[in-house]
């Protein structure tokens, strides 16, 4: 079974200062000593969780996407995290999945955080992105999406190698700016999503205070398909590379084939 090296970057973010954030993150990424294949940054990694997209949004050929292309190529990694994007006179909290060859996919945050008026500043997405790398399928999500299990729920799909349908992905990634005041929900729901979908879950959060003096404790986490925490770190910056074994997914599903009893459903776009 293939293994996948994943590096999580839990970091403080400079408020609405793209140049400072990109400079800081570049240093951290280039300094990763281990071989790694996927590098994961927090939500809105170039600005912090800002509700002022008019001043901060970029086009898809803008500075930050170009920065991701250059760095992914130089480090020979897949680089992912969300940024503020303008497209068609609308603003999106958009996760970019940047490949080393400069090609990319993207996911627009489905669930906008009305508690902080994100829904007033941004447009919600309506399509999931499940990326593929080394035989792994990875479901890419953003922060508040974590609270909505139906959106991320596994669907069984036809398997070309067998007549038996199989779950559609092996890992969920959540990039976030999730405050410490609700970190119990963050930690609990990351484990719940892993258990109910029988997959790895990787949650990458920021640390430190933002411009509204909201403190973020990090609590970035990697959870295995049985809900066991493989890695977590709180209250400090941390760059951690973890080697994930796909065999753990296969073994969990074989030993506990709960996925076969799941309900069928459709999601209204």
Q: Does any domain span residue 29? A: yes
Q: Does any domain span residue 183? A: yes
User: CB burial class (10 A; 0-12, 13-18, 19+) of residue 156?
Assistant: middle
pLDDT value for 117:
97
CA-to-CA distance for 137 and 105, rounded, in angstroms? 14
The yes-or-no verdict on residue 264 having pLDDT over 90 is no
Task: Write out the two tokens for 214.
Answer: 């909201």
Question: Cβ distance 101 to 114 under 8 Å?
Answer: no
In terms of pTM, does the model score above 0.85? yes
Question: Cβ distance 94 to 83 under 8 Å?
Answer: yes
Q: Does any domain span residue 184? A: yes
**CA angle, 206 as apex, 68 and 129 as ends, to 5°?**
50
The count of other CB atoms within 10 Å of the CB of residue 187 is 19
The yes-or-no verdict on residue 161 having pLDDT over 80 is no
CATH number of the domain within which 196 lies: 3.60.110.10
The pLDDT tens digits of the residues spanning 34-78 come to 999 999 999 999 999 999 999 999 999 999 999 999 999 999 999
CA-to-CA distance for 24 and 93, rounded, in angstroms? 21
> Which residues are bridge partners to 38 per DSSP?
6, 78
Indicate the pLDDT class of residue 156, thresholds 50, 70 and 90: confident
Q: Does any domain span residue 19? A: yes
pLDDT value for 255:
96
The pLDDT tens digits of the residues spanning 102-113 come to 999 999 999 999
The pLDDT tens digits of the residues spanning 186-216 come to 999 999 999 999 999 999 999 999 999 999 9
Q: Does any domain span residue 37? A: yes
Question: Strand runs (DSSP E) across the chain, as ranges?
Answer: 3-10, 38-40, 78-87, 90-98, 104-108, 129-133, 136-142, 156-159, 162-167, 171-175, 200-204, 207-209, 215-223, 229-234, 238-245
Q: Does any domain span residue 109? A: yes
Q: Does any domain span residue 267? A: no
The count of other CB atoms within 10 Å of the CB of residue 255 is 9
Task: Write out the two tokens for 80.
Answer: 């992912």
Q: Known catalytic residues?
A: 43, 109, 143
pLDDT value for 159:
62
pLDDT value for 265:
83
Residue 190 lies in domain = 3-261
Question: Cβ distance 259 to 253 under 8 Å?
Answer: yes
Q: Does any domain span residue 266? A: no
pLDDT value for 103:
98
Domain count, the chain: 1
Percentage of the residues of the chain whose pLDDT score is greater than 90: 91
């Amino acid at each position: 079974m293939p293994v996948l090296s994943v590096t999580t970057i839990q970091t403080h973010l400079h408020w609405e200062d793209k140049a400072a954030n990109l400079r800081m993150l570049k240093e951290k990424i280039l300094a990763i000593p281990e071989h790694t294949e996927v590098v994961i940054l927090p939500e809105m990694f170039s600005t912090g969780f800002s509700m002022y997209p008019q001043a901060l949004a970029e086009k898809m050929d803008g500075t930050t996407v170009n920065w991701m292309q250059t760095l992914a190529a130089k480090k020979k990694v897949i680089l992912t995290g969300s940024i503020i994007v303008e497209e068609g006179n609308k603003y999106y909290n958009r996760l970019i999945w940047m490949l080393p060859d400069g090609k990319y996919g993207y996911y627009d945050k489905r669930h906008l955080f009305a508690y902080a008026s994100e829904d007033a500043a941004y447009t919600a997405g309506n399509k999931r992105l499940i990326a593929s790398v080394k035989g792994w399928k990875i479901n890419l999500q953003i922060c508040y999406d974590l609270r909505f299990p139906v959106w991320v729920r596994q669907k069984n799909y036809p398997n070309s190698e067998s007549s038996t349908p199989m779950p559609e992905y092996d890992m969920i990634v959540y990039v976030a700016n999730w405050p410490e005041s609700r970190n119990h929900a963050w930690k609990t729901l990351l484990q719940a999503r892993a258990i109910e979908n029988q997959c790895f879950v990787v949650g990458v959060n920021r640390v430190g205070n933002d411009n509204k003096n909201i403190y973020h404790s990090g609590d970035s986490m990697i959870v295995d398909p049985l809900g066991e925490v493989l890695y977590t770190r709180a209250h400090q910056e941390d760059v951690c590379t973890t080697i994930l074994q796909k065999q753990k997914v296969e073994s969990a599903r074989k030993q506990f084939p709960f996925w076969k009893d799941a309900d069928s459903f459709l999601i209204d776009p």
